[in-house]
Structure 1
Amino acid sequence: MDPVYLLAGLLLLAFGLIGVGVAEPELLGSHILRVGTAILAMALGVLLSPRLLLRHAFGLHLFTLFLLVLVLALGDGPGGVRRWFYLGPVAFQPSELAKLSLVFYLASFVGRKGNDNPILGPAFLVGSAVGLVLVQPDFATALFLLTLGSLLFILAGVPWRRLFAIALAGTLVLAPFSGVYLSRFAYVSERFSGFLSYLRGEANPREAAYQVVQAQKALLLAGPLGQGPGGTLPHLPEAHNDMVFASVVFATGWLGGLIVLFLYLLLLLKGLAICLRLQGPGSLVAMGLTLYLTLQAALHIGVTVGFLPVTGMPLPLVSYGGSSLLVSGLALGALMRLSREAAAKEVRRWSS
């Protein structure tokens, strides 16, 4: 296993244990089990051949779309949302798997067809995943999937004329339904209005920005070295999940927060290095998985410090949540496997 990835992954999982422990001590036991699952997923990612996953990427993405349809019919969640399958004590969120299947499917398509091939089919399948997540409703994850897919198209070198044509067509199709969506799922506009209230200094406990205000209190109270795992965290909704970065910093201090930022920066730089050393679809997979982990981390941290509206995005490898830990662990394991293959290619090149 790649020592950089392994160390970064284990440290982030350890920070997650601290953050969940200080936020919701009664959840620490179940989170330890989830961390164990993430480590097993990491090992599975190392064992699975990227070529095998690329070969079956289309089927994997279709299976994910099937799960996204099924969860709308049979799924459950708080407040009437339909995002999770509950199997006894185990809950699974298909939209997390969509982040992984999207990366492998688009890399597989570009590898087979090239980057100047019509992309209507892949754009439709990406849009299908985005639309199904959007009506769960999970606006933030849908927007993240759309952003991730768009970035992968751009990084693959798809001509701008094709991207603009698809974007324009999608906008014309979806625009007439935007008013209906916002009226049906009012929480989306409420979060944005709450964020604007926060920017104007008018946030109060009845607005979405209350979370951000409380998270900033926790960040300020942390101090350089933190309050320790036994500290009393200010009231902060979803401090173990959507706002776990604030819990981590509260317990470990500003120094701990900087270490977490450095670990994600390390993942980004390592992923870029692997991307440059590989060729073909493997390079795009490395970039896609790196973007999944680091871009989502940036969004989570941006929300916590008040730069972005509340999204509800988990912090990869840190937040409480079985689906997120499982998929992020699998993604990190796949990056370890790609790192090993890149190193082997380097050795063969120098020996030839």
Structure 2
Amino acid sequence: MDAILMLTQALLAGFSVLGIVAAEPELIGRHLLTLAAAFAGTLLASRVSPSWLVKQARWLFVLSLVVLALVLKFGVGPISDQAARRWLSIGKFYVQPSEFVKIILVLYLASFFDRRGTDYPIIGPVLAIGLAAGMIAAETDLGTATFILALALFILVIIGVPMRRLLAIGMLVLLLAGSVHGVFQHDRLKHVIVRIDAWKVLNQSSPLGRWLHFDPDLLKKLQHQDPKFAQKVREALYQPKQARLIMKAAGPIGHGPGAQPPRILPQRDNDMIFATITYATGWFGAAILLLVYALIFARGLQIAARSSGAISVVALGLTGFLTGQALMNVAVTTAVVPVTGISLPMVSRGGSGLLAAGLAFGILHAISARVLDREVGE
């Protein structure tokens, strides 16, 4: 096992426990079991050959598309949005397949470019990325769909796909994702427009809002044009506004591990757990958490640089998954971007997200061991 990755994973688990104790202490027992399952996934994945995973990537991706189709047909959504379809019920357990698609997509792209090279008519990846993103967007999980597109773009840029192909890929992927979603009712994604407008209202008087030229009277105009829509925008303002106030009240050193935030914050144990941790540990503790992800990024890039071929792409992609999603989550919590519903890897409560992060760590451990064995042999 890679010592640096193991240290960072343990630190993230510690922050996770601290966040759950501060947010929902009655759930700590169940959360510890979920963390144990995630670490078990790490151990199992670290024993699997990365080369074997790359060889199975096409079949894994086809299977993932089938499962996403099952989610759209038989899946269930949150209580607040009965039209959503994000989880599959397996007995007493609920699985969110889109969390695992991130890993499978990385494996698929690594497999394809290892076989075809970077300057090749890449219709396969276009279909893969577009279908996956479109089906996840149809679940009304636009945040995850957007992140998958961003992760794929990150991989394509880093491995050196020519710009002309990147532009063609981008246009085709957006067209395909839009057409897949077009099969479903447009009303199912109205909440996205609500969140974007709420973000604009929250930042209209900030330096960000002035830089982006947000309308300072946006909410008044919405109230005049459509009072019902304006009310939804006000409701969507609640979560990011509360998160911002909680983090501001944290101070430099926070209020202690057992301190619960004084304000009601929706998803404070999941999507907004960064605000909960900040309140407990202060701005100093939040900075340490960010440094842990920075260390993961640095170590992941080091592992990728010491690897070659498809294995290097896998290491790069999984590093982008873990750290890029963390960056997106923090950006949402601090209201730099609109609310997306993206969790904090290896920290937020949620079985599928924790297990997916654990598996990603495990594959990175396996690649690190492979690199070490090769260097010792040389």
Q: Does TM, normalized by the shorter one, top 0.5?
A: yes
Partner of 1:33: 33
Identity %: 41
Between the aligned partners of 1:265 and 1:30, the Cα distance in structure 2 is: 29
Structure 1 gaps, min length 5: none
Matches within 5 A, 1:147-186: 147-171=150-174, 182-186=186-190
Question: CA 1:348–1:19 in structure 2 vs 1: closer, same or farther (change >3 Å)?
Answer: same
Q: Does 1:335 align with 2:364?
A: yes
Does structure 1 residue 294 correspond to structure 2 residue 297?
no
Assess if the C-alpha contact under 8 Å between 2:126 and 2:172 holds in 1: no
Residue 311 (str. 1) matches residue 352 (str. 2)? no
Partners of 1:88 and 1:297 in 2: CA distance = 30
* Aligned counterpart, 1:139: 142
Q: CA RMSD in A?
A: 2.0
User: Number of residue pairs matched?
Assistant: 349
Higher mean C-alpha displacement, 170-179 vs 52-61:
170-179
How do 1:28-177 and structure 2 match up within 5 A? 28-78=28-78, 79-80=81-82, 81-171=84-174
Q: 1:288 to 1:171 in 2, by over 3 A?
A: closer
Q: Does 1:209 align with 2:212?
A: no
1:316·1:328 contact (CA, 8 Å) conserved in 2?
yes
Are residues 173 and 249 of structure 1, via their aligned partners in 2, closer, same or farther at CA, if it must alter by over 3 Å?
closer
Local SS of the residue matching 1:91: strand
SS at 2:236's partner residue?
Answer: coil
Aligned counterparts of 1:297 and 1:245: Cα–Cα separation in 2 = 10
Is the CA contact (8 Å cut-off) linking 1:264 and 1:297 kept in structure 2? yes
Q: Are residues 171 and 75 of structure 1, via their aligned partners in 2, closer, same or farther at CA, if it must alter by over 3 Å?
A: closer
Amino acid of the residue matched to residue 39 of structure 1? Answer: F
TM-score, scaled to structure 2: 0.88
The partner residue of 2:199 within 195, 198, 219 is: 195
Compute the TM-score of the two structures, normalised by the length of structure 1.
0.94
CA distance, structure 1, for counterparts of residue 284 and residue 37 of structure 2: 28
Deviations 1:298-317 (A, max 9, x none): 00011111211111100000
Distance of 2:187 and 2:55 partners within structure 1: 42
1:151-199 deviation line (CA, Å, top 9, x unaligned): 2222222222222223233445666877986544210100000000101
Instruction: Give the letter for the 1:189 counterpart.
Output: I
Do 1:209 and 1:310's aligned partners in 2 also have CA atoms closer than 8 Å? no
The equivalent residue for 1:346 is 375
CA contact (8 A) 1:275 1:287 kept: yes
Task: Identify which of 227, 235, 256 aligns with 1:228.
Answer: 256
* Partner amino acid, structure 1, of 2:258: G
Task: Report the 3-state secondary structure (helix = DSSP H, G, I; strand = E; otherwise coil) of the residue aligned with 1:318.
Answer: coil
